[in-house]
Amino acid sequence: MDDFSPRRRDVKQENAFSSLKRMKTDLNLSEILVIFTTTAAQMSIPGLYDPVSITLRALLLSELVLCGGIAIDKDDIIVARDTYMPLDSIHDEVHGNIRKAVHPKSVNTWLKLLNGESYSIKKDKYHVRNTRKRIGKCLVEKKILKRSKSKTREFINLVANRGQVVSNEEVAFKGVKSKIILDLTAYLTGESQYEDRDILKLDIIVCALVFCCFIDDLYLTLSPRASGIAQKKVGEIISKYKSLFVDTERSTEWGIHSIMRAYLKMSVGI
């Protein structure tokens, strides 16, 4: 009869793993950006070529990389994967556009095509229209955002309630944004350590907020010392994704790096 002895557990390794945090929200990347760019839950839709518009397309591509819907090769060419599982109408549309493309296209090209930045009628078929409005509608259905009221109705409510009007949906909106900010600030200040997948998501959100000039929303919630630490971390994140990443074997990390690098190059101010 064989002798058996209890296996010694690696307590340090288990404790290290259990100490890693997960993000408090299950919203996708584009939904998070719409929450940050929506003032008092009022959805506005600017024209083309604006930072938020191009950022949403970058986030849609990033989400497809994270879920395994697309792959990006060493030459920054995007390829649709047959194993893609439908997420929602917008991500499905982006994946479908990539899949039906006759010729393979680079990350930089797709960012422009999806945003409608083409004068070619043939290429206009790749434009994903009304992106922010469609994402906002999904958030309204989830009761995270509320539909914007007319200015007259808002004024009447404000006077009638002496400035104390806060609807349930407004509370939900503020609560969701606060949770995301807490995750971001905890990550940027080193207060918490996150799992690898969430680190990728947090990095992407940071790049998006910097690109759209919303990053100050985070700094204002911190003390001067913590804000300094966060700003240094943000600088490191931006520098990392603007640099040349060579490890193409790590497909997810490489895919995100490829998208963020092409995306950040579109802003001369970063």
CATH assignment of the domain containing 89: 1.10.3630.10
> Which pLDDT belongs to residue 124?
77
Structural domain tally of the chain? 1
> Which pLDDT belongs to residue 269?
60
> Which pLDDT belongs to residue 171?
43
Within a domain: 152: yes
Within a domain: 6: no
**Closest Cα partner for 135 from 37, 264, 260, 2?**
37
Mention every residue, 6+ apart, whose C-beta is less than 8 A from residue 261.
241, 242, 243, 244, 245
Within a domain: 1: no
User: If the chain, 270 residues long, is cut into consecutive pieces of 10 residues, what is the mean pLDDT of each piece?
Assistant: 41 49 90 82 51 95 98 96 95 97 95 78 82 92 76 55 46 75 97 95 98 94 98 98 85 97 84
**Closest Cα partner for 79 from 109, 108, 51, 106?**
106
What is the residue range of 95's domain?
26-264
Within a domain: 269: no
Within a domain: 4: no
Long-range contacts of 223-227 (CB under 8 A, 24+ apart): 226/185, 226/189
Within a domain: 161: yes
Within a domain: 77: yes
Within a domain: 21: no
> Which pLDDT belongs to residue 55?
96
Mention every residue, 6+ apart, whose C-beta is less than 8 A from residue 266.
54, 111, 211
Phi-psi group of 68: left, alpha or beta (phi > 0 → left; psi -120 to 50 → alpha; rest → beta): left
